[in-house]
Amino acid sequence: MKLLRSERGATITEVALILPVLILFLTAIMEGGHVLSTWMVLTNSTRETARWLVAAQQQNSALFGTICTGLTGCQNCSGRSGSSLSSCLETNLTAAAQQNEQSLVKNLLNTANLSFTPVPSYTDDGSGSVTSVTWNTTYNVSPVTPVLQKLVSTFHVYSSTTMRVEA
């Protein structure tokens, strides 16, 4: 009867049962914080890039000389007119916006994991004047902890911002 009442080893058994659950819970909190931090950085940089695009769109004639300095993928838009000029300026603004977004997050995120899908969309009022700009950014977050790396390869964090052009 004395063996049935002995509680030796009960504590170690309880720890063995609770510890994996506790480790999983702490890992989930750490990864959740990492993904949330990434989402906040991405949301703020996306908002700033959309704001920059709106400002650049309003002043594209003044900015054209400096917007493409040192950028790849830009074209010379001088001498074009109509939809060709509009398309050329949008291409240049997109290249500059991607560089702007990367420069905003380069100290906080790995810019190789950034993707811009699709390119910014411009809405006009029918007269050729831009009324809003939408900028979308996706970032692939790799888990930090080995436990979650076995379960999930990446988390996709997505941010979209639409800024209206106001006169």
Max Cα–Cα distance, the chain, nearest Å: 100
In a domain, 82, yes or no: no
Q: How far apart are CA 109 and CA 38, in angstroms?
A: 7
Q: Is residue 153 part of a domain?
A: yes
Most confident of 76-85, 88-97, 119-128, 129-138: 129-138
Q: Which amino acid is at 70?
A: G
Q: Hey, what are 78's tokens?
A: 């001088």
Residue 118 within a domain: yes
70 located within any domain = no
**Closest of 116, 133, 137 to residue 40, by C-alpha:** 137
Tokens 């009324």 locate to 131
Of 48, 124, 117, 34, which is closest to residue 86 (Cα–Cα)? Answer: 124
Residue 74 included in any domain: no
**The pTM is what?**
0.74
Question: Does some domain include residue 99?
Answer: no
Q: Is residue 73 one of the residues assigned to a domain? A: no
Any domain includes 44: yes
Question: What is the spatial distance between Cα 56 and Cα 60, in angstroms, rounded to a whole number?
Answer: 5
pLDDT bin (cut points 50, 70, 90) of residue 73 is: low
Indicate the average pLDDT of the chain: 80
If one counts the domains in the chain, the total is 1
Q: Which domain holds residue 50?
A: 2-59+106-164
